Amino acid sequence: MDYIEEIISLKEQMMFHGEIRPPTGFDNIVIAGMGGSGIAGKIFRDIYSVKPVTLVESHKIPDFVDSNTLFIAISYSGNTEETLSALEAAKNKGAKIESITSGGKLASIVPEAVIVPKGYQPRSAIGYLTLPLLKGFGLVGKVEIEEAVEEINKIDTDTSTYREIAEKLFSTRSIPVIYGTHPLGSLAYRWKTQFNENSKILSYSGEFPELNHNDTMALEKTYRKDEFYFFVLTHKFTDNNTMNRIGITSELSNIRFSEIKGEGDSLLSNLFTIIHKGDYISYFLATLRKTDPKDVSIIEDLKKRLNETI
Amino acid sequence: MDYIEEIISLKEQMMFHGEIRPPTGFDNIVIAGMGGSGIAGKIFRDIYSVKPVTLVESHKIPDFVDSNTLFIAISYSGNTEETLSALEAAKNKGAKIESITSGGKLASIVPEAVIVPKGYQPRSAIGYLTLPLLKGFGLVGKVEIEEAVEEINKIDTDTSTYREIAEKLFSTRSIPVIYGTHPLGSLAYRWKTQFNENSKILSYSGEFPELNHNDTMALEKTYRKDEFYFFVLTHKFTDNNTMNRIGITSELSNIRFSEIKGEGDSLLSNLFTIIHKGDYISYFLATLRKTDPKDVSIIEDLKKRLNETI
């Protein structure tokens, strides 16, 4: 499958039937996942706030994990070293286990895992990895999914805006900095990682209002100001306080933000349309740079080398 | 007080007597704090894992906050808009409240607040803001504090290394990127914010092993590779897997990491010596750039402008 086909498959992914079935009797959730698989947990934590959600991005799990913990291991390949170690530790402590994966070791360790289709880059399977969480915890339903599909479809029918933004980044050799807004702050991190993996360029993310306590002091006087390209991700749920902050920050720092808006009325539609726009921009930038967006050979080499050191 | 005096006061801050006195009967902790005050909560979450810790960096608190939540509001000034809003919401939901502040509205809203000395920049009061958490939850004692003071003192007696690093950043007009290592990953963010506020330059942070799933693909081929300066923060508790990752990442990406090491045997000493080194580097860089490290006028202007829009 070409990378562009993976992007376009998002609509299809939205209609994936699988979902997590939360057990009873847990009082906190721990989600382990790295990189493209880890994003699903970050998005879930942005949206779900019925119980504390702790993210694990390493081999280690927190001490509090016990039989009152619902531990969800997310790894598209099913073979992510950190996630498998964390899962092993959580099992030993008696946590309730759930999982989302396309196969690998994870599928055999967790028989009741939600199994998603194979053949994608983990980061392209973001619909498959996220929907089972959102649906399983009752955060989205049929209406929102239908709206999201419709809005994603509109983006697919005319991608010229995203190509133009990629051309701007390309012609100025800019480093993208992406600022997110509550409650979808983690989308800025998603964008950053897509620029890293697809376009092979450094990129950094932050979130309003926190960045108003640090980045803001740098924006005006920093070295190399013209070498960064600032995005701000807004959506239907971005509040007035934040919109004011964006405007005032731009004025005081003499920075022009490129505003990327979520589409539609529902949180789900806003969420996935913002993701989709970033996927296109990072893909077009990769093609302009004549680099293969699917190439993650350095990450693969690193994994091989790490295994040799064990 | 000169900014350099604030930095040097860290030894004194380590011996601050105040501490949080955790109540009984809570099953999760929520810590609200922004910017220089928020770092204390991030460090605490890195180290404490007896119960789930959720950080709040906005006006909003999670739905799960109730009488089983210990809510800790940290604001050096005591007047941080986001933190006061979050506190108000937590009080309304019956959470158990604790606070660390130098005064302001917070001190009057929470009579039992730990009151720390006035007159510092919030980010310079990091000892005052963090020790009451670490001591209150029994994470550090007299022996660790004495060791930390001794190691900090050694740094103070010869700061030439940190001045040299600042000179390198200055002469190359580099953007610092700082990578942290478990369990002190949030120190990379601390360093970033110090470059932002003290030196007035953009800076970004990440953490091993997560960055091996995204940044790693960018390091080799990114635009403007030579315009970044990469730090990695290691310490006595950085595990072998991570040390291997650092070495292999450097080799595969053809990136030289400037390794900054924690000093001493205890976690506390490693923690605060790494903070201290970053404080010096960002301070020296400010002086080289002839910018006032204490100047946060844009943040202040922003707050004023925001108040006018309400």
pLDDT, averaged per 10 consecutive residues of chain A (310 residues), comes to 96 96 96 97 97 97 98 98 97 98 97 97 97 98 97 98 98 97 96 97 96 93 93 97 96 95 98 98 98 92 85
Under the banding of pLDDT at 50, 70 and 90, the label for residue B1 is confident
Please determine, for residue B59, whether its predicted confidence score (pLDDT) is greater than 80: yes
Q: What are phi and psi of B52, to 5 degrees?
A: -60, 135
Q: A15: distance to nearest CA of chain B, Å?
A: 27
Quote the crossing angle between the two packed helices B126-136 and B267-288, to the nearest 10°.
170
Instruction: List the single residue in A with minimal CA-CA distance to B69.
Output: A52
- Biggest alpha carbon–alpha carbon distance for chain B: 55
Q: B14: distance to nearest CA of chain A, Å?
A: 24
- Biggest alpha carbon–alpha carbon distance for chain A: 55
Distance CA B114, CA B12 (A): 17
CB of A34 closer than 8 Å to CB of A74: no
Say which of B60, B210, B306 has its CB closest to residue A245: B306
Residues 6+ positions from A144 with CB-CB distance below 8 Å: A266, A267, A268, A269
The DSSP string of B218-258 is HHTT-TTGGGEEEEEEE-TT--HHHHHHHHHHHHHHT--EE
Please determine, for residue B310, whether its predicted confidence score (pLDDT) is greater than 70: no
Distance CA B168, CA B228 (A): 11
Question: Which of A144, A151, A197, A207 is the catalytic position?
Answer: A197
Distance CA A81, CA B148 (A): 35
Can you point out the beta strands (E) in chain A?
Answer: 28-32, 53-56, 69-75, 96-101, 114-115, 175-180, 204-207, 228-234, 257-261
Output the CA angle A259-A264-A267, nearest 5 degrees: 90
Count of C-beta atoms within a 10 Å radius of residue B4: 15
- Cis peptide before A22, with omega less than 30 degrees from 0? no
Contacts of B54 in chain A (CB under 8 A): 52-54
Residue B88 designated active-site? no
Q: Is the dihedral of CA B19, B25, B28, B31 positive or negative?
A: negative
Question: Which residues, numbered 174 to 193 in chain B, qualify as contacts with chain A under a Cβ-Cβ cut-off of 8 Å?
Answer: 174-175, 177, 182-183, 192-193
A91 touches chain B (CB under 8 A): no
Which DSSP state fits B198? I
Question: Which of B82, B197, B207, B263 is the catalytic position?
Answer: B197
pLDDT for the residue numbered B269: 98
Instruction: List the single residue in A with minimal CA-CA distance to B54.
Output: A52
Considering chain B, what percentage of its residues have pLDDT values greater than 70? 100
CB of A306 closer than 8 Å to CB of A298: no
Q: A284: distance to nearest CA of chain B, Å?
A: 15
Quote the crossing angle between the two packed helices B142-157 and B267-288, to the nearest 10°.
30
pLDDT for the residue numbered A307: 87
Residues comprising chain A, all counted: 310
Which DSSP state fits A263? -
A138 touches chain B (CB under 8 A): no
Q: A197: distance to nearest CA of chain B, Å?
A: 5
Are A58 and B209 a contacting pair at CB < 8 A? Answer: yes
Q: What's the one-letter identity of residue B204?
A: Y
Contacts of A202 in chain B (CB under 8 A): 177, 215, 218-219, 222-225, 228
Are A223 and B175 a contacting pair at CB < 8 A? Answer: yes
Q: Is the dihedral of CA B162, B166, B171, B175 positive or negative?
A: positive
CB of B38 closer than 8 Å to CB of B172: no
pLDDT for the residue numbered A310: 58
Residue B197 designated active-site? yes
Q: A244: distance to nearest CA of chain B, Å?
A: 7
The DSSP string of A133-162 is HHHHTTS--HHHHHHHHHHHHHHHH--HHH
CB of B183 closer than 8 Å to CB of B48: no
Say which of B49, B215, B291 has its CB closest to residue A63: B49
The DSSP string of A77-96 is SS--HHHHHHHHHHHHTT-E
Residues 6+ positions from B198 with CB-CB distance below 8 Å: B3, B123, B279, B282, B283, B285, B286, B293
CA-nearest of B119, B96, B113 to B19 is: B113
Residues 6+ positions from B173 with CB-CB distance below 8 Å: A223, A224, B227
Tens digits of residue pLDDT in B11-46 = 999 999 999 999 999 999 999 999 999 999 999 999
A58 touches chain B (CB under 8 A): yes
Are B193 and A204 a contacting pair at CB < 8 A? Answer: no
Are A302 and B60 a contacting pair at CB < 8 A? Answer: no
Q: A303: distance to nearest CA of chain B, Å?
A: 9
Distance CA A143, CA A149 (A): 10
Are A215 and B195 a contacting pair at CB < 8 A? Answer: no
CA atoms within a 13 Å half-sphere pointing along the CA-CB vector of A114? 24
Complex ipTM over 0.90: yes
Say which of B182, B196, B228 has its CB closest to residue A218: B196
Tens digits of residue pLDDT in B68-127 = 999 999 999 999 999 999 999 999 999 999 999 999 999 999 999 999 999 999 999 999
Q: In the block, which residue shows the tokens 């090491």? A: B261
Under the banding of pLDDT at 50, 70 and 90, the label for residue B307 is confident
CA-nearest of A208, A213, A198 to A230 is: A208
Say which of A210, A299, A306 has its CB closest to residue B34: A210
Are A28 and B245 a contacting pair at CB < 8 A? Answer: no
Sheet holding B28-32, edge to edge: B53-56, B28-32, B69-75, B96-101, B114-115
Residue A277 designated active-site? no
Output the CA angle B230-B236-B237, nearest 5 degrees: 90
Distance CA A121, CA A101 (A): 12
Contacts of B214 in chain A (CB under 8 A): 35-36, 192-193, 196-197
- Cis peptide before B183, with omega less than 30 degrees from 0? yes
Are B220 and A200 a contacting pair at CB < 8 A? Answer: yes
Say which of A27, A193, A223 has its CB closest to residue B214: A193
Sheet holding A257-261, edge to edge: A204-207, A175-180, A228-234, A257-261
Say which of B34, B200, B228 has its CB closest to residue A209: B34
Q: What's the one-letter identity of residue B94?
A: G
